[in-house]
Amino acid sequence: MSLIGKTAVITGSNSGIGLGVARELARAGANVVLNSFTDNQEDHDLAQEIAREFNVDARYIQADMSKADECRALIEKAGACDILVNNAGIQHVSPIDEFPVEKWDAIIAINMTSAFHTTAAALPMMRKAGWGRVVNVASAHGLTASPFKSAYVAAKHGVVGMTKVVALETAKEPITANAICPGYVKTPLVEKQIPDTAKKYDMTEEEVIEKVILERQPSKEFATVEQIGGTAVFLCSDAAAQITGTTISVDGGWTAL
């Protein structure tokens, strides 16, 4: 599988799944644009490491995915966007009647609305290039629900719905739009939930992993960022040219239950 000459923009990619996806796309030959809201030397160093390791062009562009103009500016600054991976995401866990309004707004903006803005900015570039791939990192929570995750579940279901619309609007073009729905992947986003959950249920962190986090994942194993990255590479391949408007679960059987 060669993505040589393609440019991939991956939102929220200085950590976790986004970084894993960027690395696998670079391994397949794509030039990559990393992104987050910070602008530290380490962010730029990550891009340089990818450039050296995979012999591709790699850049880091700061843009806050909670802001419409910055989402669109990210794509403009990238200059090309053959592959758009909408990955930036945050989580907050709370009963709906206590859910902080500002957390709701931030999750909807970063996890869902950002994909609307980046896709709107990227599609004209894909059309001009005559090829494009939109890969949205949704979640098993884009297909099922859990208590206390109202904003996250709403945003991820929204992303799955938007993926279908983008696929229909580009159906007659050499552009596809799909959503990857990971189950639990051990990244900072998940690791942050472990201590709080341990306190809440009076469990050790190991018990939380086994009995709470992986409770719904029949494989009883975390998916890896490399597996999510490999799935993104597959969706960019010729074999996936007629796969559009759908979801691919990488969830150890969660959504089969």
Binding residues among 190-219 for ligand NAD as defined by CB under 6 A: 190
Ramachandran angles phi, psi of 198, nearest 5°: -60, -45
> Which residues have CB under 8 Å from 202's CB, separation 6+?
none
Q: DSSP character for 108? A: I
Q: How far is the CB of 124 from ligand NAD (least distance, A)?
A: 22
Joined tokens for residue 15: 């950590």
Q: 17-40: string of b/e by CB count within 10 Å (b at 16+)?
A: bbbbbbbbbbbbbbbbbbbbbeee
Among residues 10, 32, 33, 36, the one that binds ligand NAD under rule CB under 6 A: 36
- Cβ nearer to ligand NAD, comparing 134 with 137: 137
CA distance 66 to 27: 29
Does position 87 interact with ligand NAD (CB under 6 A)? The reply is: yes
- Tell which one of 9, 10, 16, 236 touches ligand NAD (CB under 6 A): 16
Interface with ligand NAD: number of residues (CB under 6 A):
28
187 touches ligand NAD by CB under 6 A: yes
Euclidean distance between CA atoms 21 and 32, whole angstroms: 10
Binding ligand NAD (rule: CB under 6 A), the pick from 18, 158, 229, 245 is: 18
Would residue 184 show up in a list of annotated catalytic residues for this protein?
no
How does DSSP classify residue 112? Answer: I
Footprint on this chain of ligand NAD (rule: CB under 6 A) = 12-18, 35-37, 64-66, 87-90, 110-111, 137, 139, 182, 184-185, 187-190
